[in-house]
């Protein structure tokens, strides 16, 4: 059994730590960005429900009404599921959507018919973990091009809209260009970006590409859609070949109501970014390293695994629920604010973080007002990542080098030079103003 346990641990390189027995039980979800842990209130930064819709009274009533009408099990062809598929297809601008109560039921056919599945080396807590033959190969764009050229077709390329444990975005425009040129299929996991990014909330693909019909989109319903299950959206010819497991009436109704609110209340997304900015500014002013995030997914980088675990558990005990990612030399805490949280809650959480870190002698040196502001990936911007803390990106590239592959067909010198320059600067800056500020942001020293 020990060998089995060791292999299970090795199979989860980006595993969010905090075993259930080590985290206080959640007694209730009262909403407004809080949870009850063993009878005590805590600010909820440990959720994928960024818009706070899972505790919205209208979503809960829709789920309850569906149970009263259809029971608890439902049917694969129930009207709620079909309605959800049609509404999602229209929202995402796709021909067809297939919804399933079991994400593996949707993704397993891809693994069985696709010769090569390539995924981002940093993306191991998304839907691609259900693809057993997914090989991390996105150390940089040039290496990825070589890996695609060397792979046996058909090739499936899986990219996260938001990197779940780092908060920055995948370079979808370049990935789309590579997949189009090579004939690979690009699948974007929008689990944490749906409802959050884009002018209408349709996700990272909308934010970076607009209405690009050549993409396949997948997402869990457990994010902004406040439910359980998953969906795949794309061309009818592809989606119609997929089988799905039954989605319960409560989950279908909750996702339908959440989707309606995402479209009807865009102010939730605006408020979410306001809350995120307040939390980011407070953490950076106190000297904490938040890495390249430009989204409401905020990593608080600790580096040392034992320090991250100690601080994370202490924060949970003191009233800030967070997630703990324990990786050697790359450990971090994950904080996901919610649109329903108030400025007072954010300030309270910052005070708890500072007080707890100081007590454990983990408080970094504050950098004060020297820091320039960080632009977030709000609608209308082209931000992919922040120029801060690029050493974390460099570390993971060195720790997990992409597999060696023979170079693809020769291309002209200008095209190769373009790719080389873009690979070096992609995560450092995304537009000219950010590139000019790079040298001022990286040192972050007191004057």
Q: Do 66 and 80 contact (CB within 8 A), yes or no?
A: yes
For 181, other C-beta atoms within 10 Å of its C-beta total 13
pLDDT given for residue 37 in this prediction: 86
State the chain's mean pLDDT as an integer: 80
- Model pLDDT, residue 138: 56
Q: Domain 14-53+267-393 is in which class? A: alpha beta
Asked if residue 114 has pLDDT above 80, the reply is no
Give 192-208 pLDDT, tens digit per residue: 999 999 999 999 999 99
**Which whole number is the average pLDDT over 113-127?**
67
Angle of helix 141-150 relative to helix 172-182, nearest 10 degrees, comes to: 20
Residue-wise pLDDT tens digits, 231-278: 999 999 989 888 888 899 999 999 999 999 999 999 999 999 999 999
How sure is the predictor about 393, in pLDDT bands with cuts at 50, 70 and 90?
A: low
Lowest model confidence (mean pLDDT) among 277-281, 329-333, 431-435:
431-435
Of 299, 294, 288, the C-alpha closest to 322 is 299
217 and 233 in contact (C-beta within 8 Å)?
yes
CA nearest neighbour of 50 among 212, 238, 268, 216? 268
Q: For residue range 315-328, list pLDDT tens digits in order.
A: 999 999 999 888 77
Q: What is the pLDDT of residues 281-298, one digit of tens each?
A: 999 989 898 888 999 999
Report which of residues 383 and 114 the model is more confident about: 383
pLDDT reported for residue 405: 41
**Cα gap 374→386, rounded to integer Å:** 7
Q: Which two tokens stand for residue 73?
A: 């099990």
The stretch 427-432 carries a mean pLDDT of: 41
Q: How many helices (H) and strands (E) does the chain have?
A: 16, 14
Percent of the residues in the chain that have a pLDDT greater than 90, as a whole number? 46
What is the per-residue pLDDT for 155?
A: 86
Q: How many residues does the chain have?
A: 447
The span from the CA of 273 to the CA of 341, in Å, is 11
Question: What is the reported pLDDT for 330?
Answer: 80
Indicate if the alpha-carbon torsion angle 309, 311, 317, 322 is positive or negative: negative
Residues of the chain with CATH 3.90.1150.10: 14-53+267-393
Interatomic CA distance for residues 50 and 262, integer angstroms: 11
Q: Which of 85-89, 132-136, 310-314, 443-447 has the lowest mean pLDDT?
A: 443-447
Q: Are 353 and 360 in contact (CB under 8 A)?
A: no
Question: How far is the CA of 38 from the CAs of 28, 34, 80, 119, 319, in angstroms?
Answer: 9, 13, 36, 39, 11
Q: First and final CA of the chain: distance in angstroms?
A: 56
Residue with tokens 């050229």: 149
> How far apart are alpha carbons 258 and 87 in whole angstroms?
11
Q: What is the structure's pLDDT at 156?
A: 86
Q: 155-169, 307-321, 373-387, 400-414 — which is least confidently predicted?
A: 400-414
- Boundaries of CATH 3.40.640.10 in the chain? 55-264
SS3 of 394, please? helix
| Residue with token string 């930064």 | 45
Percent pLDDT > 70 in the chain is 74
* Cβ–Cβ < 8 Å for 255, 221: yes
26, 317 contact by CB (below 8 A): no
Mean pLDDT lowest among 34-38, 290-294, 386-390? 386-390
Residue 327 has what pLDDT? Answer: 78
- As to burial, measured by CB atoms within 10 angstroms (0-12 exposed, 13-18 middle, 19+ buried), residue 437 is middle
Residue-level pLDDT at 362: 93
Architecture of domain 55-264 in this structure? 3-Layer(aba) Sandwich (3.40)
């Amino acid at each position: 059994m020990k060998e089995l346990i060791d292999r299970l641990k090795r199979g989860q390189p980006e595993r969010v730590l905090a075993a259930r027995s080590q985290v206080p039980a959640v007694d209730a979800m009262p909403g407004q960005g809080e949870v009850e842990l063993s009878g005590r209130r805590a600010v909820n930064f440990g959720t994928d429900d960024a818009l706070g819709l899972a505790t919205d009274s209208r979503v809960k009533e829709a789920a309850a009404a569906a149970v009263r009408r259809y029971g608890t099990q439902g049917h694969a062809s129930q009207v709620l599921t079909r309605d959800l598929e049609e509404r999602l297809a229209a929202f995402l601008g796709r021909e067809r959507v297939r919804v399933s109560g079991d994400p593996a039921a949707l993704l397993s056919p891809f693994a069985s018919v696709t010769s090569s599945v390539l995924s981002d080396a940093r993306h191991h807590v998304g839907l691609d973990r259900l693809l057993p033959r997914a090989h991390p190969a996105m150390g940089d764009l040039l290496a990825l091009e070589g890996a695609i050229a060397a792979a046996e077709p058909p090739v499936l390329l899986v990219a996260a809209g938001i990197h779940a444990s780092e908060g920055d975005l995948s370079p979808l425009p370049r990935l789309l260009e590579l997949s189009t040129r090579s004939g690979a299929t690009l699948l974007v996991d929008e689990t944490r970006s749906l409802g959050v990014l884009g002018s209408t909330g349709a996700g990272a693909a909308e934010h970076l590409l607009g209405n690009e019909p050549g993409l396949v989109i997948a997402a869990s319903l457990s994010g902004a859609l406040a439910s359980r299950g998953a969906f795949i959206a794309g061309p009818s010819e592809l989606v119609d070949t997929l089988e799905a497991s039954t989605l319960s009436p409560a989950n279908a109704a909750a996702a339908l109501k959440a989707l309606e609110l995402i479209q009807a209340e865009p102010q939730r997304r605006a408020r979410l970014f306001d809350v995120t900015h307040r939390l980011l500014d407070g953490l950076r002013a106190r000297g904490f390293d938040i890495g390249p995030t430009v989204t409401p997914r905020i990593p608080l980088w600790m580096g040392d695994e034992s320090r991250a675990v100690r601080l994370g558990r202490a924060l949970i005990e003191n009233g800030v629920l967070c997630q703990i990612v324990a990786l050697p030399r790359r450990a971090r805490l994950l904080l996901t604010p919610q649109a329903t949280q108030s400025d007072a809650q954010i300030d309270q959480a910052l005070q708890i973080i500072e007080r707890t870190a100081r007590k454990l002698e983990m408080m970094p040196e504050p950098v004060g007002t020297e820091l320039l502001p960080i632009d977030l990936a709000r609608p209308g911007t082209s931000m992919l990542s922040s120029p801060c803390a690029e050493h974390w990106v460099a570390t993971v590239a060195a720790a997990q080098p992409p597999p060696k592959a023979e170079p693809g067909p020769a291309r002209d010198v200008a095209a190769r030079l373009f790719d080389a320059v873009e690979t070096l600067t992609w995560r450092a800056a995304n537009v000219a103003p950010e590139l000019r500020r790079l040298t001022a942001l990286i040192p972050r020293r007191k004057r």
